[in-house]
Structure 1
Amino acid sequence: MTDTDFETTADLVEVTTTAGRVRGRWRPTTGGRGNPRSAAFLGIPFAEAPVGELRFQAPVPKAPWEGVRDALEFAATAQRGDPGVTLIPEPSVEGESTLNVNVFTPSPARPEQGTGLPVLVWIHGGGYFAGSPASVWYDGRNFNRDDVVTVSISYRLGFDGFGWIEDAPSNRGVRDWLLALEWVQQNIAAFGGDPSRVTIAGQSAGGGAVLTLLGMEKAQHLFHGVYSISGALADVAATRAETFGRGLATAGGVEPTVAGFSSLSEERILELQKKATQLGPSSVGTMIEEGLPLGPRIDGDLLPRSTREALAAGVGADKPLVLGATDDEFTMVFSDAAKKLRWVPRSLLLGKLGLPKAARRAYLAANADVTGLGNARVAGRLLTDRMFRSALLKVVADRGAAPTWVYRFSWPSGRFGFAEHCLDVPFFFDCLDGPAIEPLAGPNPPQQLADEVHGAAVAFVTGGDPGWPRHEGGAGIVRVYDVPTRDVRDAYASVRPLLGESS
């Protein structure tokens, strides 16, 4: 028995892509306004399965198929099992064909030239080694309700996607993003979208991914706006990537080549990768200073220079950008250790997290809202600022006069009492009525705030302006999402003590 045995003909809808015909399913939207229904086409392959001889190679476009292909369920994901790190419900789906797109549309028909709907392409997060596009939170139904076609894409993760291998193409996960975006350019009109109005968006590693693409000269024709949520740039140095790859090969007892790594099972490489990337007390400082060892790397090809250098040189300056972060992205890291940290001298703690002595007094004064709440909250704010919020301000400065809007998500979770990592994602997708919200947001999160966050995203995707003033100068206007939401000048002033001459 197949999925279609449970459907009526009216529930199903078909679209012809460049590789063949696909069958999706109609579902209702929520919120009681706009388009009442959304068509979901799940698990459409944009590339051949990256296994066998294709495992460590650039992605190969999917070959055409005969007949109609069901696109009624999420396809295989690159994530295996439960990595135990994602705060968003991101299930793993077994299988080999992991390079897929999910398309959500209110109007699955090819429009007349130039009349298609704007398009949002979502890249999931997960530290470049975890995460899944098969999350119910990433369902585009309510963007469809508001006349935005939505696409979520998959990509290879961890060492398979980003690891250095002597004779393999670099940045294979990045190449997956590029091919998926090429697929959007070639096919989205068939789903009612306008390929000349594509906004790329993502959160955490996905937010870093869209910034990487913004600074990539070879990607400029593939999108027209960028929305970065808690963006975590990688920009792994070539030497660091090679050292990591050689170390993994040595640990696996193989040569650092395609043949060598191909002799190891997927499970074995995941085991070696996990061991090589485990974070302990001694490695936190390295992670803060250098970032994660697996992610987009400066390879002299796709990424000839760092993202910041590219942005400062004007790459992507013609494209509007919205970016922001939550107030306490990584404070949860210290929550379980709050009692122990009470007895650690604050100066020692701040030193371990890399705050120079000369900046400590000014930093603590600027963050008076958390200094009285204990060492765990102070450490969490500092880790957040060093990994996310200071980097955000540097990107804004690198962009100069390019059209840029900045926000802060400050509403404190009813579960944790602060605005933690991932909290803003269900507000962005307007899915507060969905599953697994309460463990992250607490009971009854404010729908009005979701209306504001989601509405600004729709306005940006549709018209290139989220609805508050651009960030101009060193102390520009910032949209602060809270109850009530407000626009504040220099709302990231508390981060400035971390920014030295090199910022």
Structure 2
Amino acid sequence: MSIHPASIDARVEVDTIAGRVRGAWRGEPGTPGASAAFLGIPFAEAPVGDLRFAAPVPKAPWEGVRDALEFGATAQRGDPGVTLIPEPSVPGDSTLNVNVFTPRPEGTAASVPPGDGSTGSTAAGLPVLVWIHGGGYFAGSPASLWYDGARFNRDGVVTVSISYRLGFDGFGWIADAPSNRGVRDWLLALEWVQQNIAAFGGDPSRVTIAGQSAGGGAVLTLLGMEAAQHLFHGVYAISGALADVSPDRSEAFGRGLAAAAGVEPTRGGFSTLPEERILELQKKATELGPDSLASMLTEGLPLGPAIDGDLLPRSTRESIRAGVGADKPLVLGATDDEFTMAFAEAERKLRWIPKSVVLRKLGLSKSAMKPYLAANADIARKGTARIAGRYLTDMMFRTSVVGLVGLRGDAPEHAPTWVYRFSWPSGRFGFAEHCLDVPFFFDCLDSIAIEPLAGPNPSQTLADEVHGGAVAFIERGDPGWPRYTDAARATRVYDDPSSVVSDGYASVASLLAPA
């Protein structure tokens, strides 16, 4: 996939520390709303050969000018069959790359007027958004048209999307390999931003990291990581799915995969396996059936950032409780029905099964049953499938929002936290499902594949609110509604119309363990 400038004159070049890159303008340079895109810039050497299963190595300098007109190779291979966001796979070895979208590439600052909502050019550089895609830590790619930073550029924000190694290559335990290789990819990509973003018109001292699903979990993981604190200044976590895989579980998974492949659990052993074989084994080892949902809720994901005694000496929750990242402003929230679609096909069958039976099968304790059903009576009235989907959503996402805010605290010396719910019901599904909020965040309701997720008439008014709040947070560190405190628990409810309510996550209270 590539960008298509109108003519050769629309090209624009910028110097990075590794070499010069050539991108392209979208729109007439110097006019409101115009921005330049630089795609597939490598921040690390290709993780192949001796660098397979190694920590990422910064990209060596090149001579001449490197075209940055097409998306780079992605760690996602083929069609994973799981993404609700159009995230194409791009073949190739150089999978560690960044895409930069900017209204003010090097040498053009004086000619770019402010766009709608923008503060215009400033000598200090524009605020920066760095986006980390989701996909359960095993799928997804930054090569999505939804992640195009054009609308953020219009509003004065330089935007960067990054790639990272996925699945076992990125997160699997190997006896003699560096741990958390995907996490190390995030860190090196953020180092690249610090070293290079000024050349693209951005301010390295005003970097907000954001992501959705596994990407939301990624930015929360970085928030709780001592080694990452100098690389960003604010966090926006959308439906964050933390992994925090335990050391024993991580090692057991790695040894199990090696045994299934008939190799030693070492770099040498795994390096004898082609990429396709590891992907095949990984898929088989992580398959979920109807009876394994409850275990996933209690044990979490088997692949993802793992507690390794090195980068992640303890869980993200423990780190946040200890005050790591307390100086970083944070926005976090979730959709109301992230995974309700998981029960959509079984809705007719489930209507004949008592709600309590299905919820017990999913792991809801007998003591919490009555208060949970009472707190979610409006959803329970819609049937067993809907309350099962809400419970799955609550356990995987919504309880984490409340739990993390509680661990972070609201002491005056801490940076503020803001909480939201995305409640607007999709015109396709009738509820706010997983990924629905992403095109509203990027203000790209006119992009591809919106209707299958959002229906035929998504609310532009709501997109203006969600995107506008994100821009305000990235620019000024405040999304525009009251901060969350233990006393008020102000929650922005994104709907049409939107509102601010007190204790917007009260319905999950019966699921929260005592502090």
Per the alignment, residue 83 of structure 2 pairs with: 86
CA distance in 2, matches of 1:214, 1:375: 37
Change (3 A) 1:19 1:346: same
- Deviations along 1:209-236, one digit per CA (max 9) or x if unpaired, are 0000000000000000000000000000
The answer (yes or no) to whether the contact 2:5–2:24 under 8 Å persists in 1 is no
Change (3 A) 1:166 1:114: farther
Equivalence map 1:1-400=2 (5 Å): 8-28=7-27, 35-109=32-106, 115-400=124-409
The answer (yes or no) to whether the contact 2:23–2:37 under 8 Å persists in 1 is yes
Per the alignment, residue 424 of structure 1 pairs with: 437
Aligned-pair distance for 1:243? Answer: 0.2
Aligned-pair distance for 1:474? Answer: 5.5
Change (3 A) 1:92 1:4: closer
The answer (yes or no) to whether the contact 1:35–1:147 under 8 Å persists in 2 is no
CA distance in 2, matches of 1:182, 1:8: 33
Count of equivalent residues: 496
CA distance in 2, matches of 1:412, 1:36: 30
Change (3 A) 1:7 1:483: closer
Q: Which residue type is aligned with residue 26 of structure 1?
A: W
The answer (yes or no) to whether the contact 2:234–2:477 under 8 Å persists in 1 is yes
**TM-score for both structures, normalised by structure 1:** 0.97
Aligned-pair distance for 1:345? Answer: 2.2
The answer (yes or no) to whether the contact 1:35–1:146 under 8 Å persists in 2 is no
CA distance in 2, matches of 1:308, 1:388: 14
Aligned-pair distance for 1:36? Answer: 1.7
The answer (yes or no) to whether the contact 1:41–1:103 under 8 Å persists in 2 is yes
Change (3 A) 1:279 1:165: same
Aligned-pair distance for 1:114? Answer: 6.1
Q: Which residue type is aligned with residue 9 of structure 1?
A: I
CA distance in 1, matches of 2:287, 2:214: 18
SS in 1 for 2:344: helix
Of 481, 487, 496 in structure 2, the residue corresponding to residue 468 of structure 1 is 481
Aligned-pair distance for 1:11? Answer: 1.0
SS in 1 for 2:265: coil
Per the alignment, residue 499 of structure 1 pairs with: 512
- Deviations along 1:430-452, one digit per CA (max 9) or x if unpaired, are 00011100000000101000000
- Deviations along 1:79-114, one digit per CA (max 9) or x if unpaired, are 001111110000000000000000000000277996
Q: Indicate the percent of aligned positions where both proteins have the same amino acid.
A: 76
Change (3 A) 1:166 1:474: farther
CA RMSD of aligned residues (A): 1.5
The answer (yes or no) to whether the contact 1:116–1:194 under 8 Å persists in 2 is yes
CA distance in 2, matches of 1:5, 1:292: 39
Structure 2: stretches of 5+ with no match in the other structure = 110-120
CA distance in 1, matches of 2:27, 2:239: 30
Q: Which residue type is aligned with residue 470 of structure 1?
A: R
Change (3 A) 1:433 1:5: closer
The answer (yes or no) to whether the contact 2:5–2:25 under 8 Å persists in 1 is no
Of 486, 489, 495 in structure 1, the residue corresponding to residue 502 of structure 2 is 489
SS in 2 for 1:282: helix
The answer (yes or no) to whether the contact 2:41–2:97 under 8 Å persists in 1 is yes
CA distance in 1, matches of 2:27, 2:349: 49
The answer (yes or no) to whether the contact 1:24–1:72 under 8 Å persists in 2 is yes
Q: Which residue type is aligned with residue 172 of structure 1?
A: R
- Deviations along 1:18-39, one digit per CA (max 9) or x if unpaired, are 000000011149xxxx932110
SS in 1 for 2:278: helix
Change (3 A) 1:393 1:4: closer
Q: Which residue type is aligned with residue 419 of structure 1?
A: A
Deviating runs (4+, > 3 A) in structure 1?
3-7, 110-114
CA distance in 2, matches of 1:326, 1:75: 31
Aligned-pair distance for 1:353? Answer: 1.2
Structure 1: stretches of 5+ with no match in the other structure = none
CA distance in 2, matches of 1:365, 1:455: 35
